[in-house]
Every structure is written in C-alpha cells, then in structure tokens.
Chain A
Amino acid sequence: MDHREALIAASTNRSNPSEAAPGIEVKGLSLTYPEEPNALTDINLSIPGGEVTAVIGPSGCGKSTLLRCFNRMNDMLEGCSYSGSIILNGLDVLDPATDVTALRRRVGMVFQQPNPFPMSIYENVAYGPRIGGVRRRRELDEVVESALRLAALWDEVKDQMNRNAIVLSLGQQQRLVIARAIAVRPEVLLMDEPASSLDPISTLRIEELIYELKQSYTIVIVTHNMQQAARVSDRTAFLNQGRVVEYDSTDKIFTNPAERATEDYITGRYG
C-alpha cells in the first residue's frame, strides 16, 4: 500500500482501498411537504459507486431536497413524507426503522456555506469521531491528521490546530468541513453547492479535492454552475420541477443531450 492508499484506508471503513465505494439506487422516489406538495416526483437514478454524480437544474427544482433524501436531512422538515426507496449497499435508507444517526455516519454532507463549529480546528475534525465514541487521544490524533491530509488542509493548519476554526479563510473553512465529514469515515459524500460561496481559486481547490476524493467515496454534488458540473462529474442528472429530465454520462449531457429541455438549460436559454 502506498502512502495515499494508507490515507484512504485510514479514512474509510474498507480494508482494501481498491474496493470501490458503494453505489446508490433510487427507485420511484417522491417527496411531499406542506409548502411543496410535488417537491420530488418519481425519481429513478442509479448512482454508481466511486464516481462523481452531479445534479443540476434551475433554482427550486428540488436538487437540494433530493440530496437531503440520501442522509434523511429532510426529516427535520415538518410534515415531510416520502414514497419509493433509496438503497445504499443493501440498506433501505427511507425505511422508518433505519437508524438515522448511523446512516449519517455512512453518508457525509458538505453544505453551501462553510459551517465550522465555533471551536478549535482540531475539535472540529474530532467532533464526529468523538460523537461516534472514539475516546483515546492517539486514535483521535490519527483520524484528525489523516482526514485533514485527505482534505488537502493539513499543511496549512498543522501548526495551529488549537486555534478557533473561524480564523481560517472561507476556502480553508470549506476544506475543514470536508475533513470533518471525512473523519467519520463515510462511504458517500453529499455536497450541496460546495463552492458557491468561494472565490475562483478556492473553488478550483475544492474541485481538485473532489477529483481526488472520488477514488475513496461515492460523491453526489449539487451545483448551479454548469462548467463545474462538466469539470468534476462523471455522470449528470438534470432536474426540473421535481422530476429527472435526463440522466446520463456528463459527456453525453453536455455534448449531445437527448432532451430539448436539457440542451436549453445547459446552453443558457432557460433557467
């Protein structure tokens, strides 16, 4: 195992790093809540493991809502109800009996605005492992270091682990939040417009990071930036008004889409 593989092994639950991360099967997923009765309608997606899948579409089309189904964050919405199924590695995500906290440890999430906790850099990354019951300092140190290395932040923060995370730049904060998600050793990473609040250089670093991370995790990214979707993703789903209009390889979607609506959207004629 080379250095990189050792890092990945340390940051995932897989002993064999060449083993791919699991895929996600979405079948007939619909979601309603009082303000939005047709938030999602009959979504069918087969998201392959170890790849980056981008979800694009106009504002309010349900991209974020779809993403939040994968780790059941929509549960926090009042009056929200699902139908259909999402299968992750044999686990029925939407089953009411599913342990949501255990699910969220397998499916990490990165938000639009960097949201580090008001505590030290070290404590931010150690938060998830601590919640998961890791107590030994040595073990925590290792997890924190490998997560920060994998998130390409270690060299910048290794001498200031006890400083408050708020002193970091926005771009650094977003990578810290990614490290925080990685430290829980998830299988899937959900990213909800992870670069939309960042400057171009920080955006580039996040995109490079996504490319690096896809060999270890299945990544689903929501973005309103067409170029970004084209740059980082292997597959792209175009959503409109809560329905999947088209889902195919990113190359196909951006060069030769099957649907007229998709072409209109990515060429900027609509949305």
Chain B
Amino acid sequence: MSGDLQRMRYSIESVRAREEKLGAVMSAMTAVATLLALLSVVMFLGFLIFLGGDWLANAQSATSGVDQPVKSNFEVLLWGGAELAVSGGVFPAIVGTIVLTLVMTVIVSPLGIVVALYLTEYAGTGWHTRLLRIGIQNMAAIPSIIYGVFGLAFFVYVIGGRLDNLFFAGNLPNPTFGAPGLLWASLTLAILTLPTVIVATEEGLLRLPLALREGSRALGATRSETIFRVVLPAATPSIMTGIILAVARAAGEVAPLMLVGVVRYAPTLPVSVEAPFIHLEQKFMHLGFFVYDLTMHAPGSEGRVGIVAASGLLLVLVIATLNLAALLLRLRLRRTFLRTGFE
C-alpha cells in the first residue's frame, strides 16, 4: 500500500520536474524572441537616427558655391537643392502625405462604418452575408499595387474621363480629373484600407451586449433609433481603433500611389490658403515616393545614404504623428463614451 503511494508520488514528481524543465525552456525561448524583435527595432531606428541625424547635423553641403549663402543640410532637405537632384525638398512631400492621409480618412471612415452596420445589423446571418464578409476580409490580402492598377483604370480613366467630358469639356484635350491626382489617390487608398475599418467596426458592434439593444427597444425605440443613438456611440472606441489602423497602413503605402497621383516634383502644394483650399485634381508629392526617388536617382553614391536615412526618419516621424493624433482623438472619445464593461 505504502509502496503504491510511493510510486504515485514518484510519478507526480517526475511529471512536475518535466513541466518545470519545459517551462524554463519556453520562457528562455520567448525571452530570446522578444530580444530579437527589440534588437531589430532598435537597429532600424538607430540606422535612421545615426545616419540621417549625422547628415542633418552637417552644416554645409560640399557643392555650394563660395558666394552662395550657407545652407544647412536640414534646409536643403526641407526645401530642395542641387544635392537632392530633385527640385522641391521634403516639405511638399510631407504636406502631400498628410493631406492624402486626411482625405483618405474622410472617405474611408463613413464608408467602412456604414458597411459594417449593414453587415452586423441588417444583413442577417445567411450564406450571402458570410460570403460578403469573407470577401471583405480577403481584400486585405490583395497586393497594394493591384489597388493602384484598379485606381488608375477605374477611377482615373473611367470616372475621371467621364467627369471631364461632363463638366470640364472646355479644357479638353487637357484632362482635369481624367489624370492621376489627389482625389484618385485618396480614393484608391480608401478602398485599400476599407477592410481594416469594416472588420474593426464589426468587431466592436458584435461585442456590444444584446441587453443594450433590448433596453432601447423596450423603451419603444425603433431599430434604427437604437442603432444610431445607442449602438454606434457605444462602438465608437472600436471604430476609432479601426481608423487608426487604416491611417497607419495608408500613411506607409507607396506602390499604388505611383500609378494614381504621386509625382517626383509638383510645382504647387495640393492645399492653399485661398478657396477652394484643397486641390483634389492636382498631382502631389509623397514622402514614401520621395525616399524611393532619392535612393534611385540621386547623383553619386557619397552621402546618398545620409539623405535617404534623413528623409526616412522624417517619414517615420510623420506617420508616428498621424497615429498619435488619431490615438489622442480616440482617447478623448473614449472618455466621452466611457464604458468599461465592453472595452
């Protein structure tokens, strides 16, 4: 009897020992993986900061003449110069990136929310709803350049061409909207980020307790009153999360933009201080494309890495700023609709 007990204790102890060994291995493995991830981020940012910062810190560029006023490398990067081999510096590219992202957000947010509302609140649970949902989720997996091709073919040629024929016939054969531009680039990015907003909003809507909807219906509210007065406000934090993810994705996208509106040099900004303030038909510059252009077309190999790293650093900063703005907005809204229960 006591022998049985002894044996049992042995087996328990051996199992426990094995589990402890396994646990130690697992914790070591996860720690190593985390370190690797951290290291790559630090190396990446370090590369940008050291090379880019170093180049920026150099006060004078080698090629500036004697009688020319001394320009810091920062000014050269911002406003352009001979060293960049691109007219117009990084400033118009930053403005272009921000304006593009904002216009994209204004288009994708209402569209994504409305689609998510339809899918969760009105479409029911039949096979066609499921099919639609799977289709939308898979849209996120399409390579972004395909969106660019679609944008060029559909938005620019089909819709833009039609618009020109209808409203700007006087300018033909010079295209107004029938050529790549800010509006078509924004629309293309909106289509690209649509699944992100839809999926996040849907998740937010589905997570709301049934009791919330029932409570509203029991007070004599109709379905749409319930949706617009109770359900949507309660889902705002999730919707904002979706919009933040969309902004993050859109701000870093370059490939599709090359087809639908980005150029290496635009003589004017897409925004102005006079009406109509924003020029949706104009071509514009973009930080991502600027970095690509700089890398591929700047003269000489010396110092090129520094310029590219510096503009890369700026790109990262701009995207981080856009994300931060969206995050702060979300925080504010969350305070308004504070609801710990389903956050």
Contacts and interface: CB of A to CB of B under 8 A. Distances in A.
Given A127-B216, A127-B219, A131-B225, A111 B211 contact: yes
Contacts of B220: 101-105, 128, 131-132, 184
Given A115-B209, A117-B234, A180 B340 contact: no
Contacts of B337: 118-119, 164
Classify chain A's interface size.
20 to 34
A103 B217 CA distance: 11
Interface in B208-229: 209, 211-212, 214-222, 225, 229
Given A119-B337, A127-B229, A166-B341, A101 B222 contact: yes
A224 to B, nearest CB: 18
A109 B233 contact: no
Given A111-B215, A166-B341, A118 B234 contact: yes
Interface in B38-96: none
A248 to B, nearest CB: 29
Contacts of B217: 73, 76, 104
A52 B41 CA distance: 67
Nearest to A71: B218
A186 to B, nearest CB: 9
Contacts, number: 73
Interface string A80-110: 0000000000000000000001111100110
Interface residues of B, number: 22
Given A117-B212, A131-B225, A109 B218 contact: yes
A113 interface: yes
A109 B215 CA distance: 8
Contact of B233 (A104, A113, A119): A119
A104 B211 contact: no
Contacts of B340: 166
B149 to A, nearest CB: 43
A213 interface: no
A181 interface: yes
A222 interface: no
B74 to A, nearest CB: 47
A127 B218 CA distance: 12
Given A101-B221, A104-B218, A128-B220, 4 more contacts: A117-B212, A118-B212, A177-B215, A181-B219
Interface of B: 209, 211-212, 214-222, 225, 229-230, 233-234, 337-341
